[in-house]
Structure 1
Amino acid sequence: MKNKSIIFLVMVVLFISSSVAAQAGQVVEVTESKTEDISLDELITGTLTPIQDVDIPAQTGGVAEKVNVEIGDEIEAGSELIKIDDQTLLIQKRQSEAALESARANYNELKNGATEEEMTRVKSSYENAKNSLESAKTNLKLMEELYNNRRSLEQQLVSAEQQLENSKQSLNQAQINYDQAKKDYQRSKKLYADNVISENKLDQAENSFENAESSLSQAKTSLAVAERNYQLTKATYDNPTELKQQLENARNQVENAQSNLEVSKANLDEAERGPREEKVRAGLASLRQAEASLDQTKDQISKTKITASFTGVVNQVNVDQGEMISNGQTVVNLINIDELYAEIGVTAATASAIKKGELVKVKPETMQHFIDGEITNIAPAADSSSRTFLVKVKIENKDHKLRAGMFADVSLAKGKAGQAVVVPIESIVDLNSDQPYIFVIESGKALRKDIQIGIATDSKVEILAGLTAGEEVVIRGQSNLEDGQSVEVRNR
């Protein structure tokens, strides 16, 4: 009986306690939903690369005459980096200039026709050709007569013999006159030296000596010609076969003279007619070809100076002075680090969440803080091996404190909302389910509200629907609440 009384007493106490708790309500903590910006950031490590990175090639081959830069040199755009020896090309340039001048002169001659001097020369050549033909015909006629009339040949032999004899006598007399004039001149020089005769007398003696010397020389020449003429005439007279050969030669001379006259006549006709259109076109084509050849040589000479295409820093020098360089060989690697790219690989989801021109934060490995960067490039296709998308973020580096190849962390906002209704993440019940909800406090009671969530960070959640800013949201003690249950707010 006693035990039953004790049990009854305990049940009464529990009932009274339960009633008191129900009247007081469950203890909770709350916070106010707010309107603010929210974003979901992702930190990705990448590598810094130059804004410009160019391998500068040699555009012509040759020996490196000068190497003007070293690794680390800061270079202005247009500065000469490497100079290739150009002596052979300069020789080719002079040859091309000469060829161009010749082609231009030829073209002008074809275009303008024969000058007055050239016309005179062509006419003179034509007249000479006519005279040569007449002379050859006369000679042929003479040879035919000689061949057909031996008596005439005999008379020529007598005449040649007489001319030879006369030449010998003339030479003998000229030799005597020369010897006498020489003695008189030598004697006059001595008398003049002794002041016996005047300078005028000496000059007369000298002139007489020079005339005698000239006459002697002419007499010797005349004798030689006479001897040769006599020998030829005698050989012809003694040898009829020789005469026949001379006759054939005379006929050949007539034929050659006739051909020369025809050529001279054709040249004269062409000069009088003026330039033909096809020749002018051919001359113009030759001129253009010569101009192109010179331009090509000049272009090759200009390429012996390898210059910087932009202002930057020399990263590599791949040639030494005196080394042979081949066409297309990379000689210098030039980079521009006034700005740098932080290159990172992102997943498809991240690539879809970011956009070109978006500002992000970058923290290079040598810095303790983040700096501003701008997304400038997003690869349209994923890398085949890593399955990530290349993203380039540009940052300023005017002082060159950062170097290409350094690591850098890039903070990307995978999602971002401006002026969204935001609550602490711990206030959400069944956050990962299809029907998340929260409790709000109204008139001392906890009311359940189904919500639609957006961006979720480690500490906050964006509410897309089901809640407005300024409502009291339960953040502690909501796990055992029921809709409409009375509560006691501890932190109000």
Structure 2
Amino acid sequence: MKKKIIGLVGLLMVIGLIGTLIFIGIRKKNQKEKIKKVEKAKAVKTSQVIKKSIKEKVEVGAEIQPFKEVVHITETGGDVEKIYVINGRWVKEGEKIVKLENKQIESIYMQAKASYINAKSNYERAKKFSKDQTENQLSQAKMAKTMIKMQLKKAVDGAKTEEIAQVEYSVESAKKNYEVMTKNYEKNKRLYEKKLISESSFLEIENAYKNAETTYKTAQKSLELIKLGADDEDITILKSQLENAEDNYNLAKKMVDEEAWKYDIQGAESGYLQAKANYELAKKNYDELTLIAKISGIVINLDLKEKNKVNPGTEIFTIVNNDDMIMTVGISEKNIEGIQKFNNAKVFIEAVSETYEGVVYEINPAADKETKKFDIKLKINNKGHKIKKGMYAKAIIDSGEHEGILVSKKAIVVEGIRNNIFIVENGVAKKVEIKLGSEMEDLTEIITNKVKSGNKVAVEGQFLLEDKDRVSEVK
């Protein structure tokens, strides 16, 4: 019983001790709060939170390439005959760089050129003379028919003195025409033998010459018959000749009526056009034996020596024009929407330690199948030509705008991995955790829904603050 009483007394003493300690703790806490309430407010300077349009930017990197670069390839092949320049030299568009020799191409070109000149001459002659020749053949056929008809009549009826005189005049006319045709025939025969006119043109001239010869001989025979008189056999021969003359006349008239000379012109034109096409192709191949600069720029990759043999399709040299450079970069689908053609960019070239102005020149509207990124090209003015092909560059590209909340960079208080600011309201500092966004000069974007435009934020004295500290604003 005595032990129970002692235990109870001990328990009561412990409970009393605990109560005393709790009372003392509460008292001290109240005392601290009273002390805090009477603490002097901390002095801070503030600035206003603002809402502003913020330019978005994307940072990328890639190798730089010339904006203009042309690889020159030989389509013909051949032996290197002459090299006019060396690597590193600036050349103008159209300037000779390398001359190749190819006997086969040169031979084909010369043959095609001769055929073209010949076909062109034939075509021009056909346009000028085909109609006249056709009409002249009709005139000769008509004259031959008339003469034979007259001869037959004289052979049957007998000739008078004045009729003999008419036949003599016809003989003289036929002779003069024959002499003209003979000279024309001999001249064109020489041209034909030199392959300066086509076979069809020569045959037409030869046919006209033979007709003139036949007409002249027929006229001579008629004159002899008229003077000597004709027997039955002569009359039969004349009748046969008249039939042939009428057939020739009808054929010649049909050719005139149907404008047959047009077919001659068409044939000559067809031959001319074919020869022209062959010549132009041969000339193209021949001209390409001399490789010229297709653009103005610097010659690179010219690694040949004279007498070297090169095959068709071989890359002979390259010309780069580095007045402007190009940078191709991939942009994610998240950022591509804000990038437009002609957006500005800042391009830093580490190799030359300079920043250049760039502009978005081209945007591929389809994403790459492997990277899922959209290729864009930046055009960079290479002032001073310091940028070289293959240098690495970093670019910051304008990618649109958005409305954001901005505070002074001085307001940011870093605590470990957290970024905070202190909002000042009614003399009390309230700590707000934020995320950082874009920067704009001495301002930085903050991402939070606890701060709005017009709030005041501590920019001096903030590093001594704790949440809910009393503060006083100073100028």
Relative to the length of structure 2, the TM-score reads 0.60
Task: Give 1:305-384 correspondences, 5 Å limit.
Answer: 305-317=290-302, 321-322=306-307, 330-384=315-369
Equivalent position of 1:284 in the other structure: 265
Task: Give 1:290-309 correspondences, 5 Å limit.
Answer: 290-292=271-273, 293-294=275-276, 296-298=278-280, 300-302=282-284, 303-304=287-288, 305-309=290-294
TM-superposed CA distance for 1:456, in Å, is: 4.6
- Evaluate the alpha carbon distance shift between residue 382 and residue 4 of structure 1 in structure 2; reply closer, same or farther with a 3 A threshold: closer
SS at 2:337 equivalent: helix
TM-superposed CA distance for 1:347, in Å, is: 1.8
Q: After superposition, give the CA deviation of every residue in 1:180-232 in whole Å (9 maximum; x if it has no partner).
A: xxxxxxxxxxxxxxxxxxxxxxxxxxxxxxxxxxxxxxxxxxxxxxxxxxxxx
TM-superposed CA distance for 1:76, in Å, is: 0.8
Task: Give 1:69-80 correspondences, 5 Å limit.
Answer: 69-80=85-96
SS at 2:380 equivalent: strand
How far apart, CA to CA, are the structure 1 residues paired with 2:127 and 2:309?
A: 41
- Evaluate the alpha carbon distance shift between residue 43 and residue 91 of structure 1 in structure 2; reply closer, same or farther with a 3 A threshold: same
TM-superposed CA distance for 1:486, in Å, is: 5.9
**Partner of residue 18 from structure 1, selected from 11, 33, 41:** 33
The one-letter code sitting in structure 2 at the alignment partner of 1:22 is: K
Q: Does 1:98 align with 2:128?
A: no
- Evaluate the alpha carbon distance shift between residue 42 and residue 34 of structure 1 in structure 2; reply closer, same or farther with a 3 A threshold: same
SS at 1:404 equivalent: coil
Consecutive unaligned residues of structure 1, counting only runs of 5 or more, are 136-141, 145-253
How far apart, CA to CA, are the structure 2 residues paired with 1:462 and 1:3?
A: 53
The one-letter code sitting in structure 1 at the alignment partner of 2:444 is: K
TM-superposed CA distance for 1:417, in Å, is: 5.0
Equivalent position of 1:49 in the other structure: 65
The answer to whether the 8 Å contact 1:60/1:326 transfers is: yes
SS at 2:322 equivalent: strand
Equivalent position of 2:206 in the other structure: none
How far apart, CA to CA, are the structure 2 residues paired with 1:328 and 1:37?
A: 56
TM-superposed CA distance for 1:406, in Å, is: 1.3
SS at 1:335 equivalent: strand
The answer to whether the 8 Å contact 2:93/2:295 transfers is: yes
- Evaluate the alpha carbon distance shift between residue 463 and residue 268 of structure 1 in structure 2; reply closer, same or farther with a 3 A threshold: same
How far apart, CA to CA, are the structure 2 residues paired with 1:63 and 1:269?
A: 63
- Evaluate the alpha carbon distance shift between residue 462 and residue 447 of structure 1 in structure 2; reply closer, same or farther with a 3 A threshold: closer
TM-superposed CA distance for 1:20, in Å, is: 1.2
How far apart, CA to CA, are the structure 1 residues paired with 2:241 and 2:304?
A: 65
How far apart, CA to CA, are the structure 2 residues paired with 1:105 and 1:4?
A: 135
Equivalent position of 1:68 in the other structure: 84
Q: After superposition, give the CA deviation of every residue in 1:12-53 in whole Å (9 maximum; x if it has no partner).
A: 444322211133378696641355775554432201011112
The answer to whether the 8 Å contact 1:110/1:275 transfers is: no
Q: After superposition, give the CA deviation of every residue in 1:306-343 in whole Å (9 maximum; x if it has no partner).
A: 33232122233476545666666544322221100122
Q: After superposition, give the CA deviation of every residue in 1:64-114 in whole Å (9 maximum; x if it has no partner).
A: 544434332222112233445564213431232123213432443322235
SS at 2:37 equivalent: helix
Equivalent position of 1:220 in the other structure: none
- Evaluate the alpha carbon distance shift between residue 114 and residue 410 of structure 1 in structure 2; reply closer, same or farther with a 3 A threshold: same
**Partner of residue 460 from structure 1, selected from 439, 444, 449:** 444
Equivalent position of 1:422 in the other structure: 407
Equivalent position of 2:427 in the other structure: 444
The answer to whether the 8 Å contact 2:76/2:311 transfers is: yes
- Evaluate the alpha carbon distance shift between residue 325 and residue 27 of structure 1 in structure 2; reply closer, same or farther with a 3 A threshold: same
- Evaluate the alpha carbon distance shift between residue 333 and residue 283 of structure 1 in structure 2; reply closer, same or farther with a 3 A threshold: farther
- Evaluate the alpha carbon distance shift between residue 331 and residue 134 of structure 1 in structure 2; reply closer, same or farther with a 3 A threshold: farther
Q: Give the number of aligned pairs.
A: 369
How far apart, CA to CA, are the structure 1 residues paired with 2:240 and 2:343?
A: 91
How far apart, CA to CA, are the structure 2 residues paired with 1:414 and 1:470?
A: 29
Q: After superposition, give the CA deviation of every residue in 1:144-176 in whole Å (9 maximum; x if it has no partner).
A: 9xxxxxxxxxxxxxxxxxxxxxxxxxxxxxxxx
How far apart, CA to CA, are the structure 1 residues paired with 2:322 and 2:294?
A: 15
- Larger Rg belongs to: 1
The answer to whether the 8 Å contact 1:40/1:455 transfers is: no
TM-superposed CA distance for 1:366, in Å, is: 1.3
Q: After superposition, give the CA deviation of every residue in 1:268-287 in whole Å (9 maximum; x if it has no partner).
A: 55556764646323222233
The answer to whether the 8 Å contact 2:46/2:473 transfers is: no
How far apart, CA to CA, are the structure 1 residues paired with 2:473 and 2:263?
A: 107
How far apart, CA to CA, are the structure 2 residues paired with 1:368 and 1:418?
A: 34
**Partner of residue 128 from structure 1, selected from 217, 239, 243:** 217
Q: Does 1:108 align with 2:128?
A: yes
The one-letter code sitting in structure 2 at the alignment partner of 1:78 is: G
Aligned sequence identity (%): 18
- Evaluate the alpha carbon distance shift between residue 15 and residue 61 of structure 1 in structure 2; reply closer, same or farther with a 3 A threshold: closer
The answer to whether the 8 Å contact 1:113/1:271 transfers is: no
Consecutive unaligned residues of structure 2, counting only runs of 5 or more, are 1-12, 141-176, 179-210, 225-230
- Evaluate the alpha carbon distance shift between residue 454 and residue 486 of structure 1 in structure 2; reply closer, same or farther with a 3 A threshold: closer
